[in-house]
A = this chain, B = another copy of it.
């Protein structure tokens, strides 16, 4: 039986990516799409690449009849999201793609996002949406909080290593390279083609990027003691993809074995042979994550490189993977699309 889906915030990139993926999903049907400022328009007007699909018109959220909706994806800005989700039916299954329900401690939310959390009760209910590590909780959750795309990439590289105790917890450094779609459809000078193409720079460097909140929460929970990583993202002239170069101290072979063993049965995570380095080109447009492990000439140092598509495995693909679990569908339904290369 086809599940009825609503997408709130369908005029941004993650909203459009949800539509793209659901277009060939065998068990989902889109019954409502919202975009407050573009209400009344068709998706073909907002995203002409979707014009071949027969989709409902964009509506305001309060015009949507949720009675026939099985699950809503919420792809709205943070802060707005809390308000919107609070007003939705209490029995509606929700997968949220914003940052609003990722941090279990609302004080941490206030610290990283600069404003108080207005829906702590919903936060208490939310499950952190890193599928491969919260699968059981997600299956029975009503509200799942999608992870940050950078946060997901770093965690795929590090969680099994922290859990297995094979790396020095005080010497973790994540140098990350991010594609520009992660910044969304924001109109900023430095996101213009003329300014972004052909060059690179770091941003939110020096321990300021908000996804550090997720790293702190998750890594500390696994380790059972505070873990603080260094994390510097760089913006690259590529539309999709994240590459995280994760520098750790530990035995490279053991690190590789730990990751390979942990992900052996995961359908979306591929650990490359020891010494092989992954490329973002090999996962673009797909829900796959490739991980490589390399040693160094300095004994006891290792480099773990993880790549994924920020719009797919990093947000909308992850969201559908979680929704599949919540709806009792095959976890991989609609998500086995091969990457697009070249």
A residues near B, CB below 8 A? 13, 16, 19-20, 23-24, 47-53, 173, 175, 177, 180-181, 183, 185, 187-189, 191-203, 205-208, 212, 228, 230, 232, 234, 236-241, 243, 245, 247, 267, 270, 275, 277-286, 288, 290, 294-298, 301, 303, 305, 336-342
Contact = CB atoms under 8 A, between A and B. Distances in A.
Contact of A284 (B199, B201, B282, B339): B199
Nearest to A182: B194
Contacts of A202: 243, 245, 277, 294, 303, 305
B298 A228 contact: yes
Contacts of A52: 267, 270, 288, 338
Given A24-B338, A185-B189, A337-B24, A297 B200 contact: no
B200 A279 contact: yes
A8 B188 CA distance: 23
A340 B201 contact: no
A241 B24 contact: no
Nearest to A16: B341
B53 A175 contact: no
Given A193-B239, A212-B297, 9 more contacts: A20-B339, A20-B341, A49-B341, A191-B193, A198-B238, A199-B279, A201-B278, A202-B245, A205-B277
A137 to B, nearest CB: 26
Number of copies: 4
A179 B196 CA distance: 14
A101 B231 CA distance: 37
A229 B212 CA distance: 26
Contacts of A208: 297
Contact of A206 (B193, B241, B303): B303
Contacts of A238: 197-200, 237
16 contacts: A20-B338, A20-B339, A24-B338, A49-B281, A175-B247, A180-B192, A185-B194, A187-B192, A192-B193, A193-B237, A197-B197, A198-B239, A206-B297, A228-B298, A232-B303, A284-B340
A112 B207 CA distance: 36
A333 to B, nearest CB: 12
Contacts of A241: 198-200
Contacts of A212: 297
B237 A236 contact: yes
A282 B48 contact: yes
Contacts of A197: 193, 197-198, 237-239
A282 B49 contact: yes
A188 B275 CA distance: 21
A334 to B, nearest CB: 10
A342 B24 contact: no
A23 B332 CA distance: 14
A20 B285 CA distance: 12
Nearest to A252: B206
